[in-house]
Amino acid sequence: MSMVHLFALAAIAFSDAISACRVEECALWFHKTKEYENLEPKATERYCQALQTYLKCMNDTMRFCHGNLRFHSSELVMRRHWKEFECEKWESCNGGARSQVRPINTCYFNPPPSNRKIKYCALFGDPHLLMFNGSVQTCSEEGARPLVENRYFLVQVTNKNVRAEALTTTVAKITVLIRKHNCTSTLRYEANADEQGLPQGFTDGTTFQRTDHNRNSVEVLSQDNSYVEIAMHYIHSSIHIRRQGPYLSVSVKAPSSVLETDSDVSNEMCWSGCSRFSVIAQESVFRKPEKFVACYARQLHVPKKVAEERCSSVGTTDAFFAACVFDLMLTGDDYLVHLARNVQSDFRRLAPYHLQSQIIKNRFSTHNDNQNSTETISDAFQGCLSSNTVPSSNVFLAIILMISFVL
Ligand SMILES: *[C@@H]1O[C@H](CO)[C@@H](O)[C@H](O)[C@H]1NC(C)=O
Ligand SMILES: *[C@@H]1O[C@H](CO)[C@@H](O)[C@H](O)[C@H]1NC(C)=O
Ligand SMILES: *[C@@H]1O[C@H](CO)[C@@H](O)[C@H](O)[C@H]1NC(C)=O
Ligand SMILES: *[C@@H]1O[C@H](CO)[C@@H](O)[C@H](O)[C@H]1NC(C)=O
């Protein structure tokens, strides 16, 4: 008997529609087909086609079969076969099949997290790292390192020495990789300090991913060349990238349920901080800036007092004020002042309240409130380079430059 006859036979049988569960008819048809065509339950196209017809038959009669054990058990077995034999992959099967077998790519948005479960991390300036646990570090790491990495996304930063002075690195490159998920394909975003402005989309040219229900699961929101937000709505997470002159910054906001999908976080800067040897004792630098620059053959571009005035005039406070003063003192670069201010305003807008109050409580000070022995200072600055005293004329020049900037 040919297939056409068989289908005709089946159609006649099915069209005899009475309001009853026709599971026996479906099963009989399937059984006969297998027999006539000598079909083995294997991952072949023909077997999958027969399975598909069978599942369609079952689906059509489903609403009359509530509580019918035979219906539920044979449907379960057939669906398992369907999955096991990867029937979806056959062109001839997946058209009609998609609607009867549950779609394989349903994008479910995570439930919104409570505010207490939100974490925030930022890297900016010389660079300064604001960690998930609220600690702030200033460091001089070089090379590429993950800032955050989990099942959903990776943010990698590359820090580079930019001024050919010791202990002075900045973020040269930011790479964001969004991992494949029911809600998105793989996406990559790259920002380079030496390019003009920030890219306004992913490297493949797209700016969003849309789900079946016409919601955007991922999108690049950009206001201008100097600020881009990568929003991952399905996991309530976002990445904020800024550019000020040649400097980049990146902030990450995400719920802990998303962040904790990677078991090993020891290499991620937001969790574990800068490598121990690259951390700069910022308080000691504020106490004895001259000692610090002498130790590392650097220059004091702007006196501390001038830097403090400039940084408070743009409204930076707490950790952002300290970072601003540090960067301005040691570089004289006003772009870093603006960067600190803008990263602070992102923090105020985005970071959860508990982290904000922790940062404020930590009382970041640039003052000499601890006039302690010089031992602590020399302990803080280790591995001094061969001394190379700073010509004071440079400081003077920097002040002039600084004043012309302000005006
Ligand atoms: C499965 O059955 C439902 C209602 O019982 C129907 O709306 C749907 O179109 C059917 N799907 C297929 C693939 O036949
Ligand atoms: C992807 O979709 C499938 C089928 O709808 C679902 O079972 C699975 O849980 C989804 N995966 C994720 C990560 O949401
Ligand atoms: C934050 O984590 C770092 C690295 O593990 C640790 O050194 C620091 O003490 C922690 N800070 C707080 C406030 O827990
Ligand atoms: C100076 O350091 C010593 C120990 O090194 C400590 O006992 C003392 O309290 C410190 N003084 C101040 C003003 O912090």
| Nearest Cα residue to atom 14 of ligand 2 | 108
Looking from the CA of residue 182, the nearest atom of ligand 2 is 1
Report the chain's C-alpha Rg in angstroms. 31
pLDDT recorded at residue 399: 53
pLDDT recorded at residue 31: 87
Which of 121, 158, 127 shows the shortest CA–CA distance to 330? 127
Within 8 A by CB and 6+ apart from 140, the residues are 126, 161, 166, 167, 168, 169, 278, 280
| Nearest Cα residue to atom 6 of ligand 4 | 372
Residue ranges of domains in the chain: 3-100, 115-278, 280-406
pLDDT recorded at residue 104: 59
353 lines ligand 2 (CB under 6 A): no
Within 8 A by CB and 6+ apart from 128, the residues are 136, 137, 138, 319, 323, 326
pLDDT recorded at residue 393: 47
pLDDT recorded at residue 17: 41
pLDDT recorded at residue 129: 96
Q: What is the pLDDT along the chain (407 residues), one digit of tens a residue?
A: 454 454 444 444 444 444 688 888 888 888 888 887 788 888 888 889 889 889 988 888 888 888 888 898 888 899 999 999 888 888 777 765 444 444 557 788 888 888 889 999 999 998 999 999 999 999 988 899 999 999 999 999 999 887 777 777 889 999 999 999 999 999 999 999 988 899 999 999 999 998 877 789 999 998 888 999 999 999 999 999 999 999 999 999 999 999 998 778 888 999 999 988 888 888 888 888 888 888 888 888 999 999 999 999 999 999 999 999 999 999 999 999 999 999 999 999 999 998 998 887 776 666 655 555 444 555 567 677 664 444 444 545 555 556 565 55
pLDDT recorded at residue 152: 96
Which ligand places an atom closest to the C-alpha of 180? Answer: 2
Quote the ligand 2 centre to 331 CA distance (angstroms): 50
Q: What is the DSSP letter of 133?
A: T
> Residue 160 is encoded by which pair of tokens?
């580079």
| Nearest Cα residue to atom 7 of ligand 1 | 60
pTM metric for this prediction: 0.68
| Nearest Cα residue to atom 14 of ligand 4 | 370
Pairing of strands 279-280, 136-139: antiparallel
362 lines ligand 3 (CB under 6 A): no
Contact 182, 168 (CB under 8 A): no
pLDDT recorded at residue 165: 74
For domain 115-278, the CATH superfamily is: Mog1/PsbP, alpha/beta/alpha sandwich (3.40.1000.10)
The pick from 370, 372, 376 for probing ligand 4's pocket by mutation, whose C-beta has the most ligand atoms within 8 angstroms, reads 372
Quote the ligand 4 centre to 193 CA distance (angstroms): 43
Within 8 A by CB and 6+ apart from 296, the residues are 165, 166, 167, 381, 384, 385
At 243 the three-state DSSP class reads strand
